Copies of this chain bind each other. A is one copy, B any other.
Amino acid sequence: MTLDELPTPCLVLDLGRLKRNLAAMQAAVDRHPGLVLRPHLKTAKSIEVAKLASPGFGPVTVSTLAEARYFAAAGWRDQIYAVGIVPAKLDAVAALNAAGADIKVITDDLAVAEAIAAHPGPLRALIEVDVGEGRGGIPPDDPALPAIAAALGERLAGVLSHSGHSYNGRSPDDMAAIAEAERAGIVAAAEALRAAGHAVPIVSLGSSPTALHARGMAGVTDVRAGVYMFGDLFQAQLGTHAVEDIALTVLGSVIGRSAARNTLLLDAGALALSKDRSTQAAPRDYGFGLVLDSDGRPGLGEAIIARAYQEHGEVRSDAPLPMLPLGTRLRVAPNHCCLTAAAHDRYYVVDGGRAVVAVWERVNGW
């Protein structure tokens, strides 16, 4: 099977680029002796990608119960479920742990910590610490921190932070500064808990930009990152990789053309691409994606998906577009690979060429 025979729209994953991206992140993490890469599987949601990103069933991060179940069943025991837990979800996690997994939940809430401690099943939790993102977590010096740790007692597994605000950085120096602030904050939280007599085995932080650009990781045990596997236009704007490193594209067919309007229509619209507009405020606004030829090269110049209807993607360019025959296949590099991938139930894997070398399933939903 080749790209020319696939149903469109569909998701194409370039194996060589994926492997290159995985190696680059591993090399970045290996600069820090003892630091463990705990890949976040929320982007890939795929066993086959996880085999490459976390070989030997190493530590992983997940974002949904569906992922936790799927990867536990496939052999990945050591997981952090890195979205704040609620009591109603504890039974499901405890059941997976009772069956052999070691899925650690996270919380920043005293009542939830008490529910975790009181649960009859096997559970461990990390306390979520806010290091500047301002999304979830409590500050390292919050008086709730020791109270939550005390409530968790023996079930305290460590501390965790997320530095999504690194996405606001625009240079390696910006990222390095944010990474150092995150490191200092999460280590301060761990030290405060150790001073209060707690074991804090896991000190986990993360985001792809900080993982790549951090200059020191003293006191940190593991780093979480996910988007680096595939890359996307937003990450390329941040400078974490080149546009040529984007491993994930959507294959579409030309379903319309208008010389008068200087547009092409693709059968890849809002559902196939997502309506993520991450690049809107970035140095370059790619609309809903950058249009490439079917080999994944910039064969249409600077053409982008300027408008995304449910099933129609409208291609526009400042230059005259070629009026390609209907049925011509093109590929679209996404703004945000996590969201684009989530619209699809499988990857069609290529390895540089047009041959489909594998089909890999994804676990969507919750």
Contact = CB atoms under 8 A, between A and B. Distances in A.
A325 interface: yes
A154 B9 CA distance: 30
Q: Determine which residue in A8, A84, A257 has the highest number of CB atoms from chain B within 10 A of its CB, and name it.
A: A84
B85 A255 contact: yes
A253 B365 CA distance: 16
B339 A271 contact: yes
A290 interface: no
Interface string A309-335: 111101000000000011100000000
Given A271-B339, A365-B344, A64 B311 contact: yes
A42 interface: yes
Interface stretch (A26-34, A189-197, A273-281): A273-281
A256 B164 CA distance: 16
A265 interface: yes
A343 B342 CA distance: 8
Q: Is chain A's interface secondary structure helix, strand, loop, or mixed overall?
A: loop
A163 to B, nearest CB: 13
A214 to B, nearest CB: 21
Nearest to A265: B136
A134 interface: yes
Instruction: Please give the count of copies of this chain that the complex contains.
Output: 2
Interface in A45-98: 63-65, 83-88
Q: Determine which residue in A108, A164, A270, A271 has the highest number of CB atoms from chain B within 10 A of its CB, and name it.
A: A271
Given A111-B325, A366-B10, A312 B86 contact: no
Contact of A84 (B7, B42, B255, B345): B255
A170 B88 CA distance: 43
A364 B364 CA distance: 12
Interface string A331-365: 00000001100111100000000000000000011
Contacts of A212: none
Given A88-B327, A326-B111, A65 B256 contact: no
A109 B275 contact: no
B338 A365 contact: no
Contacts of A265: 84, 135-136
A259 to B, nearest CB: 11
A135 B308 CA distance: 11
A254 interface: yes
3 smallest A-B Cβ distances: which pairs?
Answer: A84-B255, A86-B327, A136-B256
Given A83-B267, A86-B327, 5 more contacts: A7-B65, A64-B311, A84-B255, A136-B255, A342-B343
Interface of A: 7-10, 42, 63-65, 83-88, 108-109, 111-112, 134-136, 164, 253-257, 261, 265, 267, 270-272, 274-277, 307, 309-312, 314, 325-327, 338-339, 342-345, 364-366
24 contacts: A7-B366, A10-B366, A64-B311, A83-B311, A83-B312, A84-B255, A84-B256, A84-B265, A84-B326, A86-B253, A86-B326, A88-B253, A108-B256, A109-B326, A111-B325, A112-B326, A135-B256, A270-B339, A271-B339, A275-B276, A275-B277, A310-B339, A342-B343, A344-B365
